[in-house]
Amino acid sequence: MILPIYLYGQPVLRQEAEPVPQDYPDLKQLVANMFETMYHADGVGLAGPQVGLPLQVLVIDASVISDDYPECKDFKRAMINPVFLEKSEETVSMEEGCLSLPGIHEKVARSTRIRVKYWDENWEEHTEELHDYAARVVQHECEHLTGHVFIDNISAIRRQLNKSKLNSIIKGTARCAYRAKAVGK
């Protein structure tokens, strides 16, 4: 089932996400719905708050960009309650976008290497080391779980330059090719 994507301005995107409890009903169905929603919107990642759920769950499938970023080959994951064990001090700046902020693309500095622990939708525990773009996608999605979005990292000037776009997202007048939920609509 395709879920509506909550857009910038929605309070749920500013909430700290709660851990998913082990007895959460229909976790597999939620993960399947999130994948379907992400694919429908041509995204490579989607976090719980973006579908209106302040829960520590995210889905990623970055395999579509593996021609440009070989580290993303077969990088399809559902991550429940992810925790960073390590984040490299070395960072790199690259352009990002977000399904909750249609039409906005800005450079963000992220760690080039991370180690992350998480559970999958079958409650199997994983620890993984990721680098470059794969590490970037995980950092972007995990940021959503802390009540932040990627443009929180950009300068005040860059944010000012995006002000009219941000206002149109809030008002619900921004162009958006998928089912979305703006505050103003």
Distance CA 4, CA 13 (A): 14
Is residue 145 close enough to count as binding Zn ion by CB under 5 A? Answer: no
Nearer to Zn ion, 98 or 134 (CB): 98
Is residue 79 close enough to count as binding Zn ion by CB under 5 A? Answer: no
| Contact window for Zn ion (CB under 5 A) among 90-98, 113-121, 151-159, 170-178 | 90-98
Q: Are 72 and 65 in contact (CB under 8 A)?
A: yes
Residue 108 CB, shortest distance to Zn ion, in Å, is 11
141 is catalytic: yes
Sign of CA dihedral 129, 94, 146, 12: negative
3-state secondary structure of 41: coil
Q: Which of 30, 60, 98, 166 binds Zn ion (CB under 5 A)?
A: 98
DSSP assignments along 70-101, one per residue? GGGTT-EEEEEEEEEEEE-S-EEEEEE--TTS
Catalytic residue among 96, 106, 121, 141: 141
Residues that bind Zn ion in the complex, under the rule CB under 5 A: 98
